[in-house]
Structure 1
Amino acid sequence: MDAEKTDRLHRQGPAMLRGKAIPRTTTDERLLDTRGPSDWLHADPWRVLRIQAEFVEGFGLLAELGKAVSVFGSARTDPASEEYALGVEIGARLAKAGYAVVTGGGPGIMEAGNRGAAENGGVSVGLGIELPFEQRMNDHVEVGLEFRYFFVRKTMFVKYSQAFVVLPGGFGTLDELFEAVTLVQTKKITRFPIVLVGTAFWGGLLAWIKDSMLVSGKISPQDLDLIHLTDDPEDVVRVIVAAHEEEARRLEEEAAVRASSDEAGT
C-alpha cells in the first residue's frame, strides 16, 4: 500500500480519518451538490442538526473571547518571506494591544498571525475548515475548532471579531474580504475597520474598484472609506484602536442622550 496514502490525515469536523476511511468529497460539496437520487430529501433535515451543532460548538468556544481581530492571507506564504514576517509582527502588535488574533488556523499568513499572538502573550485562535486536501491546524493555535461548513465558519469570524486585517492572498482571502466589506456596507454588522496590508499587492484592485465600480455608479464614494490600505504594522493597529475608541465615544454619547431624554420625560 502506498505509504503516502496510509500516512495521510484528514479532519472532518471533530473527526480524524486516515486511509480508505477518507471520503472522496467534502461535507460542503455534498450539501451543495444537487445531482443524484432524491434521497437528499431525507438527508437534508439531518444535515440541519449537524449545521446547528457546528454553530453551538463555535458559540460555546468563542463566547468569552473578548476583543478580537481576524487576520487573513494566503496559506501558501513562505515562512522565510517578508510577508510572513509581516504577519508575525502584526499578530504580535495586536496581542500587545489587547486583541485576540483569529485566523483560519492553517499555514502561511494564518500561521504567522497565530505565531505573533502566541509568542507575545495574546490569545491565538484558529478556525479550520474541512478541505479535500489536508491543511492541518498550525502549531501556534491555542484555541482551535474545525468546521465542516464554510458559512458557519464565516459567521464565527464575523461575530467574534471587531476588525479584519487582510494580507496578500488568493481566492479564499478575497472571499473573506468582500464578504466583510459587503456586510459593513449594507449595515448587516456594526461598522468596523477593514485593513489591507500590502500596497503593491492590493493597489491594483483598489484602483480598479475606484476606476470601474465607482465611475460606473456600482458603489458610492463613501464605500471607498470602508477599506484602509497600508504597509505599516503600526498603522494597522493604530487604525483599529482609533476606530474602536471612536465607536466607544459614540456609544457613550448615545447613552447620555438617552439618559437625558428619560430624565426629561419623567
Structure 2
Amino acid sequence: MTDSTQHKALQEAIMRGASYRLAQEDLEFLASDDLRPLRLQLELQKPEAALRKLNIHSTIVVFGSARIIPPIEARAQLARVKALAQAQPDDPGIQLELTKVKRRLLYSRYYDEARRFAQMVSSHFQDKEQHDFVIVTGGGPGIMEAANRGAFEMEAHSIGLNITLPHEQAPNPFISPELAFRFHYFALRKMHFLLRARALVAFPGGYGTLDELLEVLNLVQTSKMARIPIVLVGRAFWRRAVHFDFLVEEGMISEADAALITIVENAEEAIAILHDFYQSILP
C-alpha cells in the first residue's frame, strides 16, 4: 500500500468516526445524558412552532381512558361472549369475561359523548385564518380517538400529543397530520396540554386521566395558571373515583377548591358550562 493510499484510508476512517459527525446528525450524542436540557427544549419548541404556523390560539383539552371503545365494538364483543356463555354456561372464565364486556358496553357511551362534544366545539370555532378552542387529546385510542374523530368529522383541526410508552401507543387516525406530535417527556407533554388551554373536559379514565386532572387542579388552586372550566363527564363514575366532598369534610381542600370542578352527564351540559364561563363565546 502506498503512502497516499494509506493516508486516504486513514482520512476516510476519521470521516466515518462519531466525533467527526455534525452535532445535529449524531444521534448517539443527542441521546446522551448531557444533552437532556437540549432535548427538553426541542420538545417544547417543535410543537410550539407548528401551532403558531397554523394560528392556533386556544384549545379545549379532552382527557379520558384509552380503554373505552365505540358502542358498535362493545355490542359486537358482548354478542360474541354471550354466544360463548350460552354454549359453556359453567365456564367461570367466560362468565367473568361476560361481566367485563357488559361494563365495557356501559362505558362505551362516553365514546359517543366525547365525539359529540368535539363536534359541537369544532363546528363553531374553525375558520381558515384563526383557530380557537381547538380540540387537543393525548392522541391515542379510546376517549382520545373519539374527541379527535369528532373534530375530524367537522373538517376541523385537532391536536394529538402522543408519548413513547413501554408498549408503544400508535396515534389514532383522526388527528390532523400536521398536529400529531410524539413526546418522550411527560412534563413537556403536560406543558403543551395547558399552554393554550381554555377548558379541561375529563371523561372516565384511569391513572393517566387522574394524573392530568389533579395536576391541572393543583395549578389552578395555587394560581400557577388562570382559572378555566374543569368539567368532569359522568356523575356516577366521578363521584366514586374521587370523593371531593370527603376531602372537604376532612379539611384537606376548601369548598372553593371543590368548586373548581363541575360534574355533568353529557356533551350538552359540558357545552353549557363553557358557554356560561365564556359569556356566549361558545354556542
The percent identity for this pair of structures is 40
Equivalent position of 1:69 in the other structure? 60
Unaligned runs of 5+ in 2: 1-30, 72-107, 126-132
Equivalent position of 1:26 in the other structure? none
What is the one-letter code of the residue matched to 2:122? A
Equivalent position of 1:245 in the other structure? 279
What is the one-letter code of the residue matched to 1:223? D
Equivalent position of 2:244 in the other structure? 209
The structure 2 residue matched to 1:125, chosen from 140, 156, 159, is 159
Equivalent position of 1:170 in the other structure? 206
Distance 2:124 2:217 in 1: 24
Relative to 1, partners in 2 of residues 1:202 and 1:228: Cα closer, same or farther, differing over 3 Å?
A: same
Comparing 232-241 and 68-77, the one that deviates more: 232-241
The structure 2 residue matched to 1:155, chosen from 191, 196, 200, is 191
- What CA deviation, in whole Å up to 9, does each residue of 1:106-157 have, x standing for no partner? 0000000000011013221101001010111111000211111000000000
Residue 246 of structure 1: how far off its partner (Å): 8.5
Distance 1:76 1:191 in 2: 29
8 Å contact from structure 1 (residues 62, 160) kept in 2? no
What is the one-letter code of the residue matched to 2:210? L
The structure 1 residue matched to 2:44, chosen from 47, 55, 76, is 55
Distance 2:280 2:69 in 1: 37
User: Is residue 218 of structure 1 aligned with residue 252 of structure 2?
Assistant: yes
Distance 2:260 2:51 in 1: 26
The structure 1 residue matched to 2:222, chosen from 181, 186, 190, is 186
Distance 1:245 1:160 in 2: 19
Distance 1:161 1:225 in 2: 19
The structure 2 residue matched to 1:79, chosen from 42, 64, 70, is 70
Residue 43 of structure 1: how far off its partner (Å): 4.3
Q: Larger helix proportion, structure 1 or 2? A: 2
Residue 44 of structure 1: how far off its partner (Å): 3.2
Relative to 1, partners in 2 of residues 1:121 and 1:238: Cα closer, same or farther, differing over 3 Å?
A: farther
Distance 2:175 2:280 in 1: 31
- TM-score (normalizing by structure 2): 0.69
Residue 159 of structure 1: how far off its partner (Å): 0.5
Residue 234 of structure 1: how far off its partner (Å): 1.1
- What CA deviation, in whole Å up to 9, does each residue of 1:72-97 have, x standing for no partner? 10111112221211111111111123
Unaligned runs of 5+ in 1: 1-41, 248-266
Describe how 1:189-200 pairs up with structure 2 within 5 A: 189-200=225-236
Distance 1:237 1:144 in 2: 25
Distance 2:139 2:262 in 1: 24
Equivalent position of 1:97 in the other structure? 124
- TM-score (normalizing by structure 1): 0.73
8 Å contact from structure 1 (residues 106, 128) kept in 2? yes
Distance 1:197 1:141 in 2: 22
Relative to 1, partners in 2 of residues 1:158 and 1:200: Cα closer, same or farther, differing over 3 Å?
A: same
Distance 1:55 1:224 in 2: 31
Structure (1 or 2) with the larger CA radius of gyration: 2
* CA-based RMSD: 1.7
What is the one-letter code of the residue matched to 1:100? V
Distance 1:96 1:246 in 2: 15
What is the one-letter code of the residue matched to 1:59? E
Distance 2:138 2:196 in 1: 13
Distance 2:279 2:160 in 1: 26
